[in-house]
Structure 1
Amino acid sequence: MASSKLVMKTSNKNSVMSDWAAYAAAVWSFLYGVLGLYWALGGAGFPFGENDARGHMMGSFLSHASADAGGMIIALVGIFSAGLALASVKVWRSRWISTFLLAYAWTMCFVLIVAIPDTRMIQNVAYAFMLHFHLMDWPVINQILCMVGGVLWGAAAMSYWRRMRAACGACGRVATAGAAFISINRLGKWVTWLAAIFALPYGIVRWAWAAGYPLGASDHLLIADQTISNRLVEFVLGGLPIGGAVLTLGFIMRWGEAFPRWCLFLAGKRVPTLLAVIPAAFIAALMTNAGLKISPVIISGIMKGSINGDNWGEMGPTLFWLPWGIALGMATIAYYIRRRGRCRQCGRL
């Protein structure tokens, strides 16, 4: 009897703790919906389409949106989504309703994180390493806000999925997860290597250009006669994916769990799981986003002949961005599941 009360108390505590995501997604959706109504009524600052001069060039799916129609759609979707987020606080008896709420939450997560942002997100992250922030304008800031909303909707979807499965509200595990854990662990090794390999083509080309070798470039003289500052830019742009490939291998290497000797005072200490997971998940989302936008352009260019054997290095390597992002995301999930340890709430491994 006492054991049953303890289980019920823990379950209720986990439910209350997980409700924050649904409420946060509801608040975000409502506020963004109000912002959409403001734009629809003629308010300034509509960040898409007609007010976004760089949208089409950077692969925005909303490059042709107008403030009046686009703003009204945002308003309706925002307010409707807020209501559904509140409805997902409880698990409905109807399987159809619960499935719809779960599917809608994941769809909102995907749209806000992957579909709405464009290649300017990864562009600004790369330039931030060189302390260049001049491209950080309102459309880019709005994309960041959308990604925040996507994270909230993802958390709400995960919470609802756990409650549908009667899983632990803190970790999402169920009693029969052993076989799934083994499968994910095996898959993690393969996708980690794939993520590291897919990251290399772009970096190799950029490092070749930094060295003055026109690998896959149509204008050989432009590459050979670069200034020192331009070579430095190419070196940094190439070093980011190559460095990322090396760090990705930490997901399956010992130094991904304990800091190596060269980390001085951190040597031998346990690597915090989230220290690796959060940056990797962020980059995976950005690369998937950018790859989704640019891959159709690259494929079209190859079919039309505008991207060929003479200039393949200028755009061709970005064709690996989409599979890189997907593989990195899967590798990150596998790493997290392997390292999360025993749950303090349910006690499962």
Structure 2
Amino acid sequence: MALPTLTADGQEAAEHSAPWRRRWPAWAPRAAAAWGVAYAALQALWAATGTGVPLAGDRHTPAALQLLLAALALAASGVSLATTRTLGRSGRRATGGALAVLIPALGWGAIGLPMYFVTLASGAGLESVTGLVNLLLVAAGTTLLALVAVSYRRRLGGSCPRCGQWHEGGGDGPLAHPPATTAPPRTRATAYLLMCGLLPWSVVKTVWLFGGDAIGVSGEAWQDEVESESTGAAKALASVGVDVTVLGALLGFFLLLGLLHCWGQVFPRWTLLLSGRRVPRLLPLVPAWLTGFSLALYGTLLTAGSLLMAAGVLPKPEPDGVFTSGTGLAWMVAFGGLAFGGLGWGLLVAARSYAERTRPRCVPANTSSTGARDRAS
């Protein structure tokens, strides 16, 4: 069975007259295609000019990797446009498979975006302009490609590409939003249990900042390092015993609470002018997805590394910086895996529940107009 085109002839005029936000299944593929061309051009320019883009630590992205990213972006552009075409079974499978590969292949670069925002919020300054630009572009492209994949999958299943539900009429009418609800008890318990992984990391960092010793690191040595490397608000927070990474974890926990409870769907009274208004659905979901995926991947890799070190498969790391023993550094790797992995997976669990509980349903234009006439009569 051939895939139907994105808009039927009888619905095209209505969908073009609807607000742009209601027509995202129609414009998302074109926006993703334009992003792919622009991102490929930028990566090729950086590779040709030798522009430094941070990769990990003090290392920069090599030109070969930049050219590979440019090729992947161009492939994503072509695949996005292919989702708007009528394809046979093999073409549909190839397009869906390409999206499944390209989204993580391009989206892994957003793994460092949360720390950029935490660093900026703490007043520590911007480490790299090109690094931040690259991460923002990667996040934007990953979001667009995810929208393309969602709408394409829904169309393959014959449901509305906008809301994912089965209904008559076009997907250009207003949306009916469900009432605000709290996540089920099992979901809340799972998310809170995962967040407990933050405790060892946070406790150790706080002990150091208050001058105590832990896992072979003296509080004095840690404070000296923070004093030499931190600036602005980050140094001010450290002076009162608050590590900037702990502050970032608290912000993530605040986001998780909003995803689990009703005030994440309707602005509470303490938001003043916004009180009582519906929270835009993607406002908490996009940062939760981007942050959750990156932290879950990073934390899982750290946890796997610490388990392999504990089993003797991998050697313990050599002492570095303030760490006086490889055992202490290995413990910190394990604590980091629990913290980042717990926060990341907790956000993903909460975001999945939030997405399901807040999923709106299209009110087809013909249905809404008929209902309005009936009420008027």
Asked if TM exceeds 0.5, the reply is yes
CA distance in 1, matches of 2:254, 2:56: 33
TM-fit CA distance, 1:193: 2.4
What residue in structure 2 maps to residue 334 of structure 1? 353
CA distance in 2, matches of 1:262, 1:16: 33
CA distance in 1, matches of 2:279, 2:137: 30
TM-score (norm 2): 0.68
Instruction: Kindly report the root-mean-square deviation, in angstroms, between the aligned alpha carbons of the 2 structures.
Output: 3.9
TM-fit CA distance, 1:244: 2.8
Q: Which has the larger radius of gyration?
A: 2
CA distance in 2, matches of 1:261, 1:251: 17
Structure 1 residues 25 and 253: alpha-carbon distance in aligned structure 2, compared to 1, 3 A threshold: closer
What residue in structure 2 maps to residue 163 of structure 1? 155
CA distance in 1, matches of 2:198, 2:146: 26
What residue in structure 2 maps to residue 9 of structure 1? 11
Structure 1 residues 312 and 272: alpha-carbon distance in aligned structure 2, compared to 1, 3 A threshold: same
What residue in structure 1 maps to residue 248 of structure 2? 240
Instruction: Describe how 1:137-148 pairs up with structure 2 within 5 A.
Output: 137-148=129-140
TM-fit CA distance, 1:323: 4.4
Within the alignment, does 1:152 sit opposite 2:158 as a pair?
A: no
TM-fit CA distance, 1:260: 5.1
Structure 1 residues 345 and 192: alpha-carbon distance in aligned structure 2, compared to 1, 3 A threshold: farther
Q: Tell which has more relative contact order, 1 or 2 (C-alpha 8 A, sep 6+).
A: 2
Contact 2:260 2:350 survives alignment (8 Å): no
CA distance in 1, matches of 2:273, 2:264: 16
Report Cα offsets for 1:53-87 as digits up to 9, x if no partner.
xx3437x8xx6x642x4454344433333222211
CA distance in 1, matches of 2:13, 2:347: 33
- SS of the aligned residue for 1:212 comes to coil
Structure 2: gaps of 5 or more residues: 1-7, 168-182, 228-234, 318-324, 368-377
TM-fit CA distance, 1:168: 1.4
Which is further off, 156-165 or 250-259?
250-259
CA distance in 2, matches of 1:38, 1:236: 34
- SS of the aligned residue for 2:88 comes to coil
What residue in structure 2 maps to residue 99 of structure 1? 93
Within the alignment, does 1:57 sit opposite 2:75 as a pair?
A: no
CA distance in 2, matches of 1:136, 1:345: 47
Within the alignment, does 1:222 sit opposite 2:224 as a pair?
A: no
What residue in structure 2 maps to residue 318 of structure 1? 336
What residue in structure 2 maps to residue 209 of structure 1? 208
In the alignment, which of 59, 82, 98 is matched to residue 77 of structure 2?
82
- SS of the aligned residue for 1:328 comes to helix
- SS of the aligned residue for 1:132 comes to coil
CA distance in 2, matches of 1:148, 1:80: 16
CA distance in 1, matches of 2:69, 2:244: 38
TM-score (norm 1): 0.73
Structure 1: gaps of 5 or more residues: 1-5, 176-183
Kindly provide the amino acid, as one letter, of the partner of residue 333 in structure 2.
Answer: M
In the alignment, which of 326, 344, 349 is matched to residue 363 of structure 2?
344
Within the alignment, does 1:20 sit opposite 2:27 as a pair?
A: yes
Q: What count of residue pairs does the alignment treat as equivalent?
A: 319
TM-fit CA distance, 1:243: 4.4
CA distance in 2, matches of 1:7, 1:187: 46
